[in-house]
């Protein structure tokens, strides 16, 4: 806070009307976190907000193309967004319309814990969730050594991979993985077929945003062990963090030294 003002993760002042009773979430991770912790607050979310599975709220299109006009008509007390997942222009349009917007910034696992704590305690005036404490404990042990050189594609045609200064890179590091393309300038670099496998001992293929499957992805790594994992475990920073480390670690251990495997 600055001078008693409430600010989000980017330092922007959020003119909250307390108590917050109507929330729209434009980020799947945040939607799940709020639905699990304060289910009565959510009134709308994106079409990509798939958890909890029984979430019954209005859908306001996607993370990159939210229905700003409809959100304004819903008159929420707060809209929650993320710096990486949502567009600045949509945040500005909502704020111009008089809608308070809270933007999170999460590029490491520790930032996830801090950001989520601020969201609940400051923005929503709620207690710190028990699942967040459990998740922090789950990720506290040091990573295994030595690290394995890995690549985590998030798209193909063209290939795009996880790079530096990303939540997934930090999460992977804690799993004992050193990302082969983390030395590039881009946070999600585009690479050629040759660059994709260069210096890589393991390929980790999530099922989102690109849906890698046994028949779509592993064939690009004919001589490299491949782990097919849950994208939610690998990229979401909500309640799934409680179990993500054990699930991912188990799958990576099963994949070590052998061929393709399905996990998550």
199 CB contacts (<8 Å, ≥6 apart)? 149, 180
Contact 171, 231 (CB under 8 A): no
pLDDT digits 0-9 by tens, 146-192: 999 999 999 999 999 999 999 999 999 999 999 999 999 999 999 99
pLDDT at 49 over 70: yes
Fold of 148-262: Rossmann fold (3.40.50)
100 or 263: which carries more pLDDT confidence? Answer: 100
pLDDT at 47 over 70: yes
| 232-to-10, 29, 33, 174, 186 alpha-carbon distances in Å | 24, 9, 13, 16, 23
| Model pLDDT, residue 27 | 98
Pairing type for strands 101-104 and 42-45 reads unpaired
Got the DSSP string for 61-126? Answer: B-SSSB-HHHHHHH--SEEEEETTTS-HHHHHHHHHTT--EEEE--SSHHHHHHHHHHIIIIIS--
Distance (Å, rounded) from C-alpha 230 to C-alpha 245?
11
Q: What is the mean pLDDT of the chain?
A: 94
pLDDT at 239 over 80: yes
* Integer Rg of the chain from CA: 19
Token pair 């804690």 is at which residue? 174
Distance (Å, rounded) from C-alpha 125 to C-alpha 21?
10
Domain with CATH 3.40.50.1980 in the chain: 23-128, 148-262
Neighbour tally for 10: CB within 10 Å: 11
CATH number assigned to the domain with residue range 23-128, chosen from the 4 options 2.30.29.30, 3.20.20.140, 3.40.50.300, 3.40.50.1980: 3.40.50.1980
133 CB contacts (<8 Å, ≥6 apart)? none
Phi, psi (rounded to 5 degrees) for 247 = -65, -45
The tokens describing 67, both together, are 């229905």
DSSP letter at 256? T
pLDDT digits 0-9 by tens, 192-212: 999 999 999 999 999 999 999
| Model pLDDT, residue 259 | 45
pLDDT digits 0-9 by tens, 103-134: 999 999 999 999 999 999 999 999 999 999 99
176: left (phi over 0), alpha (psi -120 to 50) or beta: left
100 CB contacts (<8 Å, ≥6 apart)? 14, 15, 16, 17, 77, 78, 79
Please tell me whether residue 180 adopts helix, strand or coil conformation.
Answer: coil
Q: Global pTM?
A: 0.91
**pLDDT band at residue 69 using 50, 70 and 90 as cut-offs:** very high
């Amino acid at each position: 806070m600055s001078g008693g003002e409430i600010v989000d993760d980017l330092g922007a002042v959020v003119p909250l009307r307390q108590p917050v009773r109507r929330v729209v979430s434009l980020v799947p991770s945040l939607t799940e976190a709020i639905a699990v912790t304060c289910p009565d607050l959510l009134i709308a979310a994106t079409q990509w907000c798939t958890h909890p599975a029984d979430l019954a709220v209005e859908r306001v299109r996607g993370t990159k193309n939210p229905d700003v006009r409809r959100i304004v008509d819903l008159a929420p007390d707060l809209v929650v967004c993320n710096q990486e997942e949502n567009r600045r222009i949509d945040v500005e349009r909502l704020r111009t319309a008089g809608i308070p917007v809270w933007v999170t910034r999460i590029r490491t696992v520790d930032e996830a814990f801090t950001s989520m704590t601020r969201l609940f305690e400051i923005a929503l005036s709620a207690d710190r969730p028990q699942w967040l404490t459990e998740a922090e404990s789950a990720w506290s042990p040091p990573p295994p050594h030595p690290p394995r050189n890995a690549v985590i594609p998030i798209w193909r045609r063209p290939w795009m991979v996880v790079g530096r200064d990303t939540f997934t890179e930090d999460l992977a590091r804690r799993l004992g993985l050193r990302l082969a393309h983390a030395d590039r300038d881009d946070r999600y670099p585009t690479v050629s077929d040759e660059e994709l496998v260069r210096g890589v001992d393991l390929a980790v293929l999530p099922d989102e945003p690109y849906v890698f499957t046994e028949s779509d992805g592993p064939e690009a790594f004919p001589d490299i062990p491949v782990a097919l994992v849950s994208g939610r475990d690998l990229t979401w920073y909500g309640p799934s963090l409680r179990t993500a480390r054990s699930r991912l670690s188990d799958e990576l251990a099963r994949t070590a030294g052998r061929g393709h495997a399905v996990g998550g």
